[in-house]
Amino acid sequence: MNIITITLNPAVDKSTRVEAVAPEKKLRCEKPVFEPGGGGINVSRAIKKLGGESCAWFLSGGATGEKLGELMQAEGVSFRAFSCAEATRENFAVYETSSGQEYRFGMPGPEIAEHEWKQLLQALEELEDVPQFVVASGSLSPGVPDDFYAQLAEVAVKKGFKLVVDTSGAALIKAAGAGIYLLKPNLNELAALAGKEHITAKEQEELAQQVLAEGKSQVLVVSLGARGAMLATKDGFEYVTPPTVKLQSAVGAGDSMVGGMVLKLSEGWAWPDVIRYGVATGTATTMTPGSELCRKPDVEEIYAWLKARS
């Protein structure tokens, strides 16, 4: 498999719709929808929806973990589940039809023992068919050390695969360094990577150059929210601003963006087109309800729009 994704804190995402959210009232919800969730899992789901293939590696425990595997099978996404003692988490999202607002409830992950998270590192080291890309995305469950992604980067150096990391907080700061091919921070995370508390729009290129010069990553894709994204490489910068679309749900948009980019990188696309395709994928995901992720026709239409304006 050319692309492997890794999710340390996966989830079953449960979503529903209700006319109005109100306290102390019995709320009559629509039939719930269950979908696989978690950073790397969403990356793999997006790649599948775009016509590509990857293998999603994740920790799985209890009845929720079994449900997660069933949902992955239903979507036709290849996966490898690594067992853990405690049950996989379940997240919950409610869309309020009267206002168009979405309420998202993220649950903490299970407590992970040392031998459980080390399974994934060992399995990567033992791989004979080394993938071109490994994408490590999402939060870390309790019990997984903040330097897990940094340990993953050490394996990347040994095995020779390109490591893409999309996370936040201490896990992001400790991951940055040798062995990281691509990081996808937002502006606040970019500031943290550069050792600053705040960032202005004027500083973003300077700080991105600093992060690259310090060897914290070979490439940066900085999320700019509704303004799209900034690509930073040793050759300079490129900005991609998406078209205005009707927002349904932002769940999985960042993961989908990563999936679109990594898929096209694996196909040999050049970075200017890769970043446009990634923005198109992320934008298309915001057009779908709940945790559905992108639809390929939407992605292709938005990408063509971006390409025409480049």
The residues assigned a catalytic role are 255
Q: How far is CA 208 from CA 10, 29, 173, 229, 230, in A?
A: 30, 45, 14, 13, 10
Residues 6+ apart with CB under 8 A from 157: 178, 179
Cα–Cα distance between 208 and 190 in angstroms, integer? 7
Phi then psi for residue 22, to 5 deg, are -145, 145
Q: Write the DSSP symbol of residue 29.
A: P
Tokens found for residue 174: 């400790």
Note the Cα 266 to chain centre separation in Å. 17
Cα–Cα distance between 299 and 304 in angstroms, integer? 9
Across-strand partners of 231?
221, 238
Contact assessment for residue 149 and residue 184, using Cβ atoms and an 8 Å cutoff: no
Q: How far is CA 178 from CA 40, 54, 214, 297, in A?
A: 21, 24, 10, 37
